[in-house]
Every structure is written in C-alpha cells, then in structure tokens.
Amino acid sequence: MNLKDLFKPFTAWKNLLAEPVPIKKPLERQGAPRYRGFHKNDLEKCIGCGTCEEICQNAAIDMVPVEGEETEEGDSGLRPRIDYGRCCWCALCVDICTTGSLTMSNQFQWIDSDPDVFRFVPGADEKYWDDEELGYKKPDNYELNNLDRIEMEEMEPEKRNHTFLEIVKGFSKEQAIQEADRCVECGICIATCPAHMGIPSYIKAIRKGDVEEGLRIMYETNPLPEVCGRVCTHKCETVCAMQHRGEPISIRWLKRYIADQVSLDKYQEIMGTDNLEKREEKVAIIGAGPAGLSASYYLAMMGYNVKIFEALEKPGGMTRYGIPEYRLPYEELDKDVEYIKSLGVEFQFNTKVGEDITLEEIHKDFDAVFAGTGLHLGRSTKIPGAEHEKCYQAVDLLREFTQGKEIEVAERIVVIGGGNVAMDISRTLARLQNKQYGQVQLVTTSLESEDIMPADEEEIIESREEGITLKPGWGPKEIKVEDGKVKGLKVIKCLSVFDNEGRFNPKFDQSENDFFAGDMVIEAIGQGMDISYMEDVELTERHKVKVDENYQSSKPWLFVGGDIVKGPDAISAIADGHKAAQGIDNYLSSKGEK
C-alpha cells in the first residue's frame, strides 16, 4: 500500500461543507431505466426449472405450484415465489434464468402494513408493474453458462463409410468436465427419462472428477450404461433447460464417458456386490434383451436366483442383432452383460420358448417369470411385388449380418422406411456396397417428410454424409418386377401420414409419382412381436401384452415388459425391467408372508 492509498479515504471530507441536495417527494421518484426493482415473470416462457431458486444465496426464492400451470414434459409446473424480506436485488436469478422469463421492473415503491404480501409469485399475483417495460433484464451476450455443446469428435464420413469401427470417439476428461459445467442441475430431464435416471447427480460427479460415484448413481436406475451411453434415444435432451437459449447438454455422451472410464474388474468393488445375500426363490427371464437384462440385474441385487432363456446364441436382443457395431461395439455391450453375469445370473442360449421349452414347463421350475422378448419380426408393406425373393426384411438382414452370415448386397438398393432401423440397414448395406462395388447406390424412402421422420436427426445427417440418397414423403405403391427380376420401387406422393386425431391414416396424391431403381428392396417399416409362447394372456386394444402398474400380466406369476408392452426403445425397456423386478419382489414377498 502506498501513501496515496493511505490518505484516499480522507478525500471524502471535501463533501463535509457541501450544500445538501434534498429529494422532494421521494416516493414519486422514477427509477433508472435499468433499475433492479420488483420481479416480473412470463409464466408461459417459464418452465419451472428452479435455477433461480438454486442460485439465490439468501433463500429468497421458493418454487411453488401455481393454479393453471400443469406439470408436463419439459415443465415442472412450478413457478418462483419471491420473498422480499430476504431478496437483496442482486439479480443473479435473472442472469441465470434458462428461458429469459424472469426479469425485474424498475419499480421500487410498494407500501403495505401486512408483511406477508411481500412474498408473491411474479406473473401469477397481479401487480401494478406487470406491464412496465423498463427495468433490469439479462444483458445481451452475457451468460453465466456456456451455451454451446462441446463438439463430439467423429470419424470422417469418407473413412467411416468403409468400416464398421465405432464412429463416435467419446469425450476426453477435459471435454467431459467442460460439458458437465454447462449443466444447471434443474432436474427437468429426470422426469422425461423413462428410467428416471439421476442425471444431474451423475453429471455433478463428472465435475467433481468422481466417475466411480457417477457409475453408482447410474446403476441405481440403469444397469446398461455402455449401451445407453451410445444408442439411447436421449429424450432427456429434448427437454434440457439449456436448449431454451443454447444447445442442450450432451447427456448421453456424458453417460458414456462415465461408463468408459471404469474397467469391468472394478465394478464389483465400486458397487459393493462381492457378497450378495441369496434367497431361495428362483425367477426365469425370457429374452436377453435390454428389458430382460435389466430385470435380471435388479432381481440378482435383491438376492434372487435368476436364469435367462435366450433364443439366439448371444445376449443383447435387438441391441446386438439390430444395431450395427459402428454405433454400438459389441465388446461394450458385453461389458454390461459380463457384470450382470458376475452377480450369479445364469444364461441358457439357443433356447426358444415355445419350441425348445414351453412357458408352462419353465413355470414349474421357477417361482416367477419375466418375459421381454422384443420385436424381432419384420412387417411387410404387402404391396405388389413384396413377396419377391429379392424383397427382404431389415430386421432379418441385420440379425444375419450380426451372426456372421453372408448377406446379399445388390449394386442398386431401395430401402423403405424412415426410422432408425431403416437408417441402420441403409448404412450397413452402403458400407457393404462400398466394399463390393466401390460406390454407394442406395435410396431410402419414407412416407414421412423429413421433419417428422422417426429416425434420430444424427442418423439422417450421417446417412447422407455416407452417400445414401434420402427420398422422404413418398408412399410405396409397387415393387416393379420384369422377367422375374426386381427393377425398383414405384412410389406416389404422400400428402400426410396422420389424421387430425393423430392416427396413422396416410393420404396420397395419385397423380404425382416417381420410380427408384434397384435390384433389391428392403422393407423397414416397423417390427412385430412373436408371443405365441404365451397362451391365454390378455392383450390390449393395440395387441400388446396387457400388464398392470407392476408389469404383472393376467397370469399372476408372469410379468412382461419391454417392446412387447410398449416401445420400441432400449431405455424404456430397461425401465420396464427395473419396475417388473420390483413387482416380482412384491409378488414373491407377499407369497412368503402367507
């Protein structure tokens, strides 16, 4: 400290004899244009994320229910209530607001003898300053959080369309921490996630550098983190609060980051599953897909003796036999499965229930049964020519390719469908075309226009990058066959896919048509289920298996989940398996009490 700093406080003495400037009628004084007065909130823009409550250092904000504001996807239904006995007008709540709904008027005059009135919900409780335009708003280009995602590195299109190596490289530690820093921990994502994963908590664990804690949090609701870290439909990201002023958090890639950091040999040590207490009851699982694997994990954690019956030679269901390795390397799927095996879960492969063994025979040896056999049957358009031997089902080809069988690859191919399965078979065949012919000549067409195609946006983008021609908005009319050979697909313009009530009811313009040349046609318009092994089980109007809130079917000992109940979606199937495991535990525990 120098002498100037030492004597600086005494410079205020110059005002000692200055003429005072009294403010006449102070209650009529106008606040400055950006004065931080009482709060305003646009209830329609507000999503009730609660970041304002979290950042308030004086606990002046509480999130409360408000009449007329309903809880829905992406909106908690809660709104901030301000307590002006605590508020210090710092405006951090305005600066952090994820939607920009919260602002401050420049009004500061509010006189009342009742102290309770100074605790109110802006936007819901009418105030005289509600229409005030002046006041504090978050300045432009002023952000407390980075709005842009950390870019995920991928293999270049010209390299990846020749190989089945994984195309997404994953986050480094530094990238993961930077992306995790963007999260405001609002928790709105939890409600949208079918498994209700503790997303903010495991992202916080990344920020703290504690991936083991992150793994424990994920396993509370999802025992397939390697799978979901790669192929989850990440519905949570569609409601992320950060998307309202920037890009949503890369929740899926952060989940993958945690799972990738921990080696399999450390799982039991981290999860504390070295010595699980065993029970006498036995539970059979039919199907080693996401639903069956999830149910088996949670049942094993409860101490039950679990055995999985699987029709194919390896576990994973559609995640192995329907998703190509460039999206989900099977060694990562195996990592999830091996941990489940380590808990004592037994697997019996190449055993199709209904053929090699009946459901009733299984029931004789087990106290309860869970079925999650998925959607492994293709659906046909049934248009003229669909019965031709060169017209294939996408699910059949994907399964055969995964099994190492040689599949036919024509020089020109047409794929019918706009979902992820259509993209998966298109991208698989495009790679094989490149290998065999040195070029891609593949057209993928769908009823849906591109803006409503059910495939993930990244699948659509990456398909184009890999040389696939996408033709959305066309309906298949006929597979043209000449001299016994497929020549291509005749299509007509699709005007709409759904009616006003949201039901599938496509409308076409017969006068507008096109033709896509091809030597083979692949149908990828959806999948069906084979539940012929379940006799006398009650079905819903949509011909899915009917279950109650515990996933218990009309047969009390039979629980059902996954795609044959709802879906298709891996994370939903995982959630079903978890809930069904709890239902089975309740069922068997209640039997033991009788």
Regarding whether 382 and 369 lie in a shared domain, the answer is: no
State which of 470, 493, 526 marks the end of a domain: 526
What is d(CA 320, CA 329) in angstroms, rounded to the nearest whole number? 9
Regarding whether 221 and 280 lie in a shared domain, the answer is: no
- Asked which of 15-24, 86-95, 232-241, 387-396 is least confident by mean pLDDT, the reply is 15-24
Cα dist from 587 to 292, 371, 534, 556, 591, whole Å: 18, 16, 20, 8, 6
Q: Give the pLDDT confidence score for residue 26 in this predicted structure.
A: 63
Mean pLDDT of 194-204: 97
Cα dist from 355 to 44, 203, 277, 293, 375, whole Å: 56, 46, 35, 22, 18
* More confident call, 17 vs 583: 583
Q: Which residues contact 114 (CB under 8 A, 6 or more apart)?
A: none
Are 283 and 370 in contact by the 8 Å Cβ rule? The answer is yes
pLDDT digits (tens, 9 = 90+) for 134-169: 999 999 888 888 999 999 999 999 999 999 999 999
Regarding whether 397 and 367 lie in a shared domain, the answer is: no
CATH number of the domain within which 120 lies: 3.30.70.3270
What is d(CA 102, CA 88) in angstroms, rounded to the nearest whole number? 16
State which of 526, 541, 557 marks the end of a domain: 526
Are 522 and 415 in contact by the 8 Å Cβ rule? The answer is yes
Banded pLDDT at 272 (limits 50, 70, 90): confident
Regarding whether 425 and 288 lie in a shared domain, the answer is: no
Range of the domain at 119: 27-136
pLDDT digits (tens, 9 = 90+) for 72-109: 999 999 999 999 999 999 999 999 999 999 999 999 98
Percent of the chain predicted with pLDDT > 70: 98
pLDDT digits (tens, 9 = 90+) for 40-71: 999 999 999 999 999 999 999 999 999 999 99
What is d(CA 407, CA 398) in angstroms, rounded to the nearest whole number? 9
Alpha helix segments (H runs only) across 325-442? 330-342, 359-365, 394-402, 420-437
- Find the angle CA(141)-CA(145)-CA(147) to the nearest 5 degrees: 70
Helix (H, G, I), strand (E, B) or coil at 37: coil
The yes-or-no verdict on residue 594 having pLDDT over 60 is no
Q: Give the pLDDT confidence score for residue 592 in this predicted structure.
A: 63
Q: Give the pLDDT confidence score for residue 1 in this predicted structure.
A: 56
CATH number of the domain within which 542 lies: 3.50.50.60
Angle between helices 420-437 and 457-465 (to 10 degrees): 20
**Residue 17 buriedness (CB in 10 A; 0-12 / 13-18 / 19+):** exposed
Banded pLDDT at 276 (limits 50, 70, 90): confident
State which of 496, 526, 556 marks the end of a domain: 526
CATH number of the domain within which 258 lies: 1.10.1060.10
The yes-or-no verdict on residue 460 having pLDDT over 80 is yes
- Going by C-alpha positions, the residue among 39, 40, 41, 38 that lies closest to residue 108 is 38
What Rg, from alpha-carbon coordinates, does the chain have? 30
Mean pLDDT across the chain: 93
pLDDT digits (tens, 9 = 90+) for 323-359: 999 999 999 999 999 999 999 999 999 999 999 999 9
Q: Give the pLDDT confidence score for residue 311 in this predicted structure.
A: 96
Domains identified in the chain, total number: 4
Regarding whether 190 and 98 lie in a shared domain, the answer is: no
* 294 located within any domain: yes
